Amino acid sequence: MPMRIDDAGSPESATEPTMEQVSESIWKLTEEVLDLLRSHATSEVQKQKKGDDLWLNDVTRAQSNTIIAVKELCDVYPDGITLKKLAETTGVTPAAASVMVDLLVTKKIIKSTRSKNDRRAILVRLTPETTRLFEIVDRSLGEAVMSVADALGPQILHDWLKILAAASLVLRQTAGGRISAGFAAKSDAESRADSPFDGNEAHPRGAVACGQYDDQEAEQA
């Protein structure tokens, strides 16, 4: 087998890693990067949370998914979203969405109000405190990513973005990846406005702002 001498002067195999090995390394490093980003953002949230934000450590996976959906949809519909829209986005019945909303309102994570245009309709959005926590996450994640540019130069962020955008597009087409609530909402809103979508994607902020839950936890309210 061909051999070469590495920088330390030791013989090293010149054999390139297989595509399976490369794929495994990419996945492991991607997980590691996401874990580091979440850890950094979680630390900032814990430092700046208020004393009554007890729900941060008491959120199930289903509740977290609902909170993230509300956040992303309200980025498009600032006045709030209807229970019907929330149910369609999260793939549950309106009745199940109503039960979940009542629970999250009780926890003071989201709030519901009557629509000014239709008093029969209930609009749901995040509470100001929950919004504040998401802003902390956004800011801390941005700072963490910028630290990469500070250490390795800004070009690496441009290259990273191109690679992620290309990989995301291919995976959506070939792996049937689920699009995020925000992507779906933006596509819907912008198609009605007949304007192009700029391709912004969701990031790990939701899992951080919505607290930590056990991966083995049952997906229940």
DSSP 178: P
Alpha-carbon Rg for the chain, nearest whole angstrom, is 21
Strand partners, 5: 11
Domains delineated in the chain: 38-209 (1.10.10.10)
Contact 94, 87 (CB under 8 A): yes
Nearest to 140 by CA among 206, 66, 42: 42
pLDDT at 43: 87
**pLDDT score for 70:** 93
Distance CA 8, CA 46 (A): 44
pLDDT of residue 189: 41
Asked whether 97 and 112 are in contact (CB, 8 A), the reply is no
Q: Which residue type does 43 have?
A: S
pLDDT reported for residue 172: 85
Beta strands in the chain (DSSP E): 3-5, 11-13, 81-82, 110-114, 122-126
pLDDT by 10s per residue, the chain, length 221: 444 445 555 555 568 889 999 999 999 999 999 999 988 888 888 888 776 665 666 778 888 889 999 999 999 998 899 999 999 999 999 899 999 999 999 988 999 888 777 777 789 999 998 899 889 999 999 999 999 999 999 999 999 999 999 998 998 888 664 444 444 444 444 333 332 223 333 344 555 555 544 443 433 44
